[in-house]
Amino acid sequence: MTTVRKETLLRALTDMQRHQQGNHGWSVVHESLGRLAGRASAASLDTVLAAAWRVRPAISDAHLITLLGIALRTVAAHDAEAARVFRPELAAGDRVRVLERTLERHRDEITGIVTEHSNSFTGARRFLVPQLVIGAWAEHRRVEAVRLADLGTGIGLLPRQLNNRTVFDRFAPDLAWFPYTPPFRPVPLTARTGVDVPPLPTLEWVRGCHGPSRYYTERFAEVVWSLEQTAAEAAELELLPLDILDPAALTEFLRTHRITVATCNFVLYQYDEATRERVIAAITAGLGRPGLLLSMEPGHELRRMGACVRGYRAGSTTALHIADVSDAHFLGRVTLGPGFAELTGADPNP
């Protein structure tokens, strides 16, 4: 484990504690991790970090920190002592001691989570932007059949939600668009596919990816409600195991399944910049034409609020700036970028 890598992790922990939303229950864990990681000797944490960086050299600091929090949530579900690390009323020094003992007692379980799983947080509102962007793109390009693949799909909620007006009409009013709201257009879907790295996440795993707060309890309830509302679409969805970090396998999958539109939502931030570029190149190389990759990633590596939406045409790794979203949970405001007009033919000055 290099000193430089640990220092960058510490800076990320410090920044994430300053998040405008207080991370909805995660900040006390980030504080405790930062205090423990800042010690000259923190054998329990250093062992876990070393394993994560050895097995997953391309992992981003934000993703590793998030996985550590999820791992602690998982352990806390069956260890009342470990749950105390999430109690903000507990003195900071006491929480650090609880954290250290938890890492010692559950080292194997925690190490297994951060080396074998990914953050599968599923936001029920994130499909709103793909719905309007892909719909506008398909109409503009006169695309009559969209074969969709959601990469890093988690439990496959987003491809189920597309074209469901009941779900759209519930969540759309909470997301304002500037300078105007694109109209709802059904996406001409002929195939819905979702892939994720094995082991494929379960609903219980997704629950653990939500923070320990009332806010996240409400967000998870939206996921459950959306799953109920999209039961019919579930019959059309094919969920498959695939590691998108294998460029050859990813490109081959897209070509074999004749995928024309790929969505990649809150996945690429999990890796370093070079890895992200390789994944984007593999996707755009494998898409059928006219093809579209729509990527949504958190702003500032989870250090601040918001998300950026980018589009890529088949065969090109040049990003189009589609939009900025004020809140990564897709409540708030969407500001259209110049790439939206370029991609969809919309009037850039309505």
Q: Quick one: what percent of the chain has pLDDT higher than 70?
A: 97
The three-state secondary structure class of 345 is coil
**What is the spatial distance between Cα 153 and Cα 302, in angstroms, rounded to a whole number?**
19
pTM attached to this predicted model: 0.94
Ramachandran class of 199: left when φ > 0, alpha when ψ lies in -120 to 50, beta otherwise: beta
Q: Does the pLDDT of residue 91 top 90, yes or no?
A: yes
How much of the chain is in helix, strand and coil states, percent to nearest 5?
50, 15, 30
Give the pLDDT band of residue 231 (cuts 50, 70, 90): very high
**What is the spatial distance between Cα 300 and Cα 45, in angstroms, rounded to a whole number?**
25
pLDDT at residue number 348? 72
pLDDT tens digits, 297-326? 997 767 677 899 999 999 999 999 999 999
Nearest to 114 by CA among 69, 158, 76, 175: 69
Tokens for 83? 């749950």
Under a CB-based contact definition with an 8 Å cutoff, are residues 333 and 312 in contact? no
Could you tell me the domains of the chain?
Answer: 3-116 (no CATH), 128-344 (3.40.50)
